[in-house]
Amino acid sequence: MNRIKEVLEEKGKTQTWLSEKLGKSFNMVNSYVQNRRQPSIETLYDIAKILKVNPKDLLAA
């Protein structure tokens, strides 16, 4: 489980915005946000960098 959806909402960003910044399709980002698929460690770090948060903030406790 991840907290990408919550962090996007906190930052006021959309899935479309993240998919463009990440260079991945909207469908792939949506699958991360909906917790149907978990991003690789590298992608998780890329998402954290784009959102300017600690990678740990993207992980559910």
Give Cα 51 to chain centroid, integer Å: 8
Q: For residue 11, give its domain range.
A: 4-54
- pTM score, whole prediction: 0.93
Whether 27 is in a domain gets the answer yes
Q: For residues 45 and 39, what is the distance between their CA atoms, to the nearest angstrom?
A: 9
Please name the helix (run of DSSP H) or strand (run of DSSP E) that holds residue 41, with its range, or none.
helix 41-51
Residue 32: other Cβ atoms inside 10 A? 23
The total of structural domains in the chain comes to 1
Phi, psi at 2, each rounded to 5°: -135, 170
pLDDT band at 16 (very low <50, low <70, confident <90, very high): very high
Average pLDDT on 19-24 reads: 98
Residue with tokens 């260079």: 23
Residue with tokens 């690789």: 40
Is the pLDDT at 60 greater than 90, yes or no? no
CATH number at residue 44: 1.10.260.40
